Amino acid sequence: MAETPTIYVLNGPNLNLLGLREPDIYGHDTLDDIAGRVEDAANEAGVDVDFRQSNHEGHLIDWLHEANAMGAKAVLLNAGAFTHSSIALYDAIKAISVPVIEVHLSNPHTREEFRHRSYVGMAAKGSIAGFGANSYLLALRAALDLAGL
């Protein structure tokens, strides 16, 4: 029997504070709320998700490498503020073959100027932003399409 395809969903700094942190920008959903919706949608599609969060850049890099080594079909990456500062994440995404989809709850282009540059987006297959928690579900749909699932 074939192994169930897996999609990694990686979340960066401060996303553990969703629901509390600036709800006027990020909404009232917690990261656990979002994980539940993504897992439900993935189950309906017949795929597994590996949903993780870390406030540490190195963990995100290690997890990108792991996703590649484990044969993940795609990675959804909300790198939080690392999006705008991490050349190391850019390099990690460029170094792996698994497609990465950048995810944001808010639209960075409507926010502070320093958020307009995305190193993650420069390396990712595509970006989905500005749809709140639904950004994750839209990114999952895109990942499923990329993987032919």
Domains and CATH numbers, the chain: 6-146 (3.40.50.9100)
Please tell me the pTM assigned to this model.
Answer: 0.93
Phi and psi at residue 46, to the nearest 5°: 80, 25
Active site residue 136: no
Of 8, 90, 104, 119, catalytic: 104
Confidence (pLDDT) at 123: 97
Confidence (pLDDT) at 27: 74
Confidence (pLDDT) at 48: 97
Least confident piece of the model among 27-36, 39-48, 71-80: 27-36
CA distance 51 to 31: 10
Element (H, E) at 30: none
39's CB contacts (< 8 A; 6+ apart) are 49, 51
Phi and psi at residue 103, to the nearest 5°: -125, 135
Of 8, 26, 119, 136, catalytic: 26
Confidence of residue 53 (pLDDT cuts 50, 70, 90): very high
